[in-house]
Amino acid sequence: MTSTPDEPATGLPGAPPVVDAATWQAARDELLVREKAHTRQGDAIAAARRRLPMTEIDATAEVVGAEGPVPFLDLFEGRRELVVYQHMWYDGAPHQGQCEGCTDAVWHMRDAVYLNARGVSFAILTTGAWDEVAAYTAFMGYTQPWYSVRGLDAPIGGAMGHLACFLRDGERAFLTYSTIGRGIEAANGSFGLLDLTPYGRGEAWEDRPEGRPAIGRVRDGYPGEGGQVCWYWRTDADSTASWGPASRPTPQWTRPGATPEKTLGRTGDCS
């Protein structure tokens, strides 16, 4: 990368150095070469993904939605393709105790009009009992179609926290792709925008210039040093990242009547 002065731009911690416009443009052009290579590699991986085989699933398996039990095939809504997010669920937990990571992903996927325009439907599956799921989606203000897949085996049911893609051929349905972990970042546009900024995501695992802090790291001792990904999951009423008893999944603070809570309503970590 083009060398730049070590002198900081401002009093901001770890701020980028100040250079003249020509030096900045040279450095930007050098990085652009790598960005274009990254884009082409992403295109190549997407092409390989389109060449994966597929496996047939039971299209008649019943899932439960707002209209009652329906066959899985109905989730395609007559379209050829279907993308689902499989939302984790904690039985009996209050709204602030439901999965933070899944809340993040689903909050970024509130409108599927562009998918629909390409012949792709979108739905959210979860193992929660429908009465609990219905109350939760009403509180969150979600308008996407949600379905309970309680008691069903993978890939429709089973472990949650996945993005999955399906293809329909008449009355038959096939699983074509599934991803988990950082693979679901495709659903979160905020990550991509933060990656463009000088402070990045602010996570401890990131490679940052010396002196630039991981400003978004969760406080209150969770997850602590070591760089776990949790900073965007829960905040308190002052928008401070926290795993404390008065925190809740970040988007819930915009919901009418949301207040600090004394308990998550469940035990365990945020895995």
Element (H, E) at 147: strand 146-148
Residues 128, 90 share a domain: yes
Residues 219, 106 share a domain: no
Chosen domain end from 185, 209, 237: 185
Please provide the average confidence, as pLDDT, over all residues in the chain. Answer: 87
pLDDT band, residue 126 (cuts 50/70/90) = very high
pLDDT at residue 12 tops 70: yes
| 3-state SS, residue 10 | coil
Of 116-125, 171-180, 241-250, least confident by mean pLDDT is 241-250
pLDDT band, residue 10 (cuts 50/70/90) = low
pLDDT at residue 1 tops 60: no
Number of domains composing the chain: 2
Q: How far apart are CA 247 and CA 41, in angstroms?
A: 40
Of 5-14, 28-37, 44-53, 154-163, least confident by mean pLDDT is 5-14
Residue 242 located in a structural domain: yes
Alpha-carbon 99 to chain mean position: 11
Residues 199, 81 share a domain: no
Residue 20 located in a structural domain: no
Residues 203, 173 share a domain: no
What pLDDT is recorded for position 206? 83
Residues 63, 107 share a domain: yes
Residue 44 located in a structural domain: no
Q: Stretch 5-22: mean pLDDT, rounded? A: 76
Q: pLDDT digit string (tens) for 137-151?
A: 999 999 999 999 999
Q: pLDDT digit string (tens) for 229-241?
A: 566 788 888 887 7
Q: Stretch 86-114: mean pLDDT, rounded? A: 94
What pLDDT is recorded for position 210? 82
Residues 116, 215 share a domain: no
Query: What's the pTM value of the predicted model, to 2 decimals?
Result: 0.87
Residues 125, 246 share a domain: no
To which residue do tokens 């980028």 refer? 16
Could you tell me which residue, 28 or 214, shows the higher pLDDT? 28
Residues 198, 163 share a domain: no
What pLDDT is recorded for position 140? 96
Residue 243 located in a structural domain: yes
What pLDDT is recorded for position 41? 98
Q: Stretch 24-45: mean pLDDT, rounded? A: 98
Domain enclosing residue 70, as ranges: 55-185
Residues 240, 170 share a domain: no
pLDDT at residue 162 tops 50: yes
Alpha helices in the chain (DSSP H): 21-50, 100-107, 113-117, 130-140, 189-194
Q: How far apart are CA 143 and CA 102, in angstroms?
A: 16
Residue 2 located in a structural domain: no
What pLDDT is recorded for position 150? 97
Chosen domain end from 185, 202, 217: 185
Chosen domain end from 185, 211, 233: 185
| 3-state SS, residue 256 | coil
Residues 90, 167 share a domain: yes
Residue 32 located in a structural domain: no
Q: Stretch 129-134: mean pLDDT, rounded? A: 98
Residues 175, 59 share a domain: yes
pLDDT at residue 207 tops 90: no
Q: Stretch 104-108: mean pLDDT, rounded? A: 94
Kindly report the CATH number assigned to the domain that includes residue 152: 3.40.30.10
Residue 36 located in a structural domain: no
Residues 204, 175 share a domain: no
Residue 271 located in a structural domain: no
Give, as one character, the DSSP assignment of residue 7. S
pLDDT band, residue 205 (cuts 50/70/90) = confident
pLDDT at residue 78 tops 70: yes
What pLDDT is recorded for position 44? 98
pLDDT at residue 9 tops 70: no
What pLDDT is recorded for position 251? 93
What pLDDT is recorded for position 246? 83
Q: How many CA atoms lie within 13 A of 262 on its CB side?
A: 0
